[in-house]
A = this chain, B = another copy of it.
Amino acid sequence: MSFGLSPLEFRESIRSGKHTGNTSGYCPGYVQGNVVILPRDWASEFLQFCQFNPKPCPLVGMSDVGNPLLPTLGAGLDIRTDLPRYRLFNDGLVTEELPDITDYWRDDLVTFVLGCSFSFEEALTADGLEVRNVIEGVNVPMYRTNIPCRSAGRFSGNMVVSMRPFLAADAIRAIQISTRFPSVHGAPVHFGDPSLIGVEDINSPNFGDSVTIEEGEIPVFWACGVTPQVALEQAKPPFCITHSPGCMLMTDIPNSQLAIF
């Protein structure tokens, strides 16, 4: 078990091959990140895409060109070895899953780290709210919407959203709490009637698992970190690396540092 480790110890346990699975529930209180690694000639357009679409693509860190270290995110953090599992993309398609990308590192690669909803889910739970996907032990349900992202060069696409059901009073509290965390998707983008954002069947998510929606509860939708992945699949850069779903980058940044007030 790797529970109780510091983020540094947890990354070392991943680097040494001891921890190989997903990262949910580890190092509570610390920011975990989505990772996108792109060649330099795609990086500036992707950066612009993130700047244009901060709710689905909230940047919490970015490396120098060719540098695999991200010292502002973690002591000794080496992006080539510190994720449990990576996905290699060629022309927008996953061609390989692997636990180490040292052999694929290149001098022109740029790493982007995007905030992840684990941070605000922790804040919701700490406030006494019931986060259904956490309670039911499943992945959060995610849906493709008809909400267009603002295009940047070759990157475009519609927003993907995650959904958590709440009673209205709890939804209001969840809006207040997640508003404090703009670096991890911030406030919801929609609630209520799913069809208004192009979601036809709330019980059939496009990604993740479906969760129970109780009588009187309202589905609340947040911009989701799968959005950039969909944009990548559409843009089809010849080469690209991401984390595997659920196998996030563990940083040394306390979640509370992302709170803006």
**Which residues on A are within 8 Å of B, measured CB to CB?**
168-169, 171-172, 175-176, 179, 187-193, 196, 216, 218, 261
Contact = CB atoms under 8 A, between A and B. Distances in A.
Given A168-B190, A172-B189, A175-B176, 19 more contacts: A168-B191, A168-B196, A169-B189, A169-B190, A172-B175, A172-B187, A172-B188, A172-B190, A172-B191, A175-B175, A176-B176, A176-B179, A176-B187, A179-B179, A191-B218, A192-B192, A193-B216, A196-B216, A261-B261
Contacts of A191: 168, 171-172, 218
A187 B168 CA distance: 12
Contacts of A216: 193, 196
A188 B169 CA distance: 8
- Which 7 pairs, one residue from A and one from B, show the smallest C-beta to C-beta distance? A261-B261, A175-B175, A168-B190, A168-B191, A168-B192, A176-B179, A172-B187
Nearest to A176: B179
Contacts of A190: 168-169, 172
Contacts of A218: 191-192
A244 to B, nearest CB: 32
Contacts of A187: 172, 176
A9 to B, nearest CB: 36
A168 B218 CA distance: 11
A192 to B, nearest CB: 5
Nearest to A167: B196
A82 B187 CA distance: 42
Nearest to A196: B216
Contacts of A261: 261
Nearest to A216: B196
A196 B217 CA distance: 11
9 contacts: A168-B191, A172-B187, A172-B190, A175-B175, A176-B179, A179-B179, A191-B218, A192-B192, A192-B218
